[in-house]
Amino acid sequence: MQKASTLVIGASENPERYSNKAVRLLADYQHHVLALGIKSGKIGDVEILKELSADVSIDTVTLYVNPSLQEQYQSLILGLKPRRVIFNPGTENINFERLLSENGIEPIEACTLVMLRTRQY
């Protein structure tokens, strides 16, 4: 697989959740998207995974979990070595952002939905 996938962390089947909207919009924009959540399920054609294989190639991680829950994903994200991690509103975490920068991963405080709609993604 090419390094062009997006991983949505905090994915939910609830259509009112921004993580759900992000998965749908990423798929609408023809991005290869993987969804990781605490419960299995589906968002459109995308399976919500409870675990992720370490051999996947991820370009972008977009976070939809608050800072207190991010620590459980830090090792996974660092191991995936994505190009960037998007901290959506409410997920900003200066300590994790610093750790990412120290490991050559670009932290971005932005909204995935806005980035997609304005062609900044």
CATH of the domain at 95: 3.40.50.720
Q: How far is CA 49 from CA 34, 41, 92, 106, in A?
A: 8, 8, 23, 24
pLDDT at 10: 98
Question: Residue 7: pLDDT band by 50, 70, 90 thresholds?
Answer: very high
Question: Residue 4: pLDDT band by 50, 70, 90 thresholds?
Answer: low
For residue 78, give its domain range. 5-117
102-116 residue pLDDT tens: 999 999 999 999 999
41-100 residue pLDDT tens: 999 999 999 999 878 899 999 999 999 999 999 999 999 999 999 999 999 999 999 999
Q: Provide the domain count of the chain.
A: 1
pLDDT at 54: 72
Per-position DSSP letters for 53-116, written without gaps between them: -TT--EEEEEE-S-HHHHHHHHHHHHHH--SEEEE-TT---HHHHHHHHHTT-EEEES-HHHHH
Residue 62 CB neighbour total at 10 angstroms: 30
Name the residue among 38, 39, 44 with its Cα closest to residue 66: 38
pLDDT at 53: 80
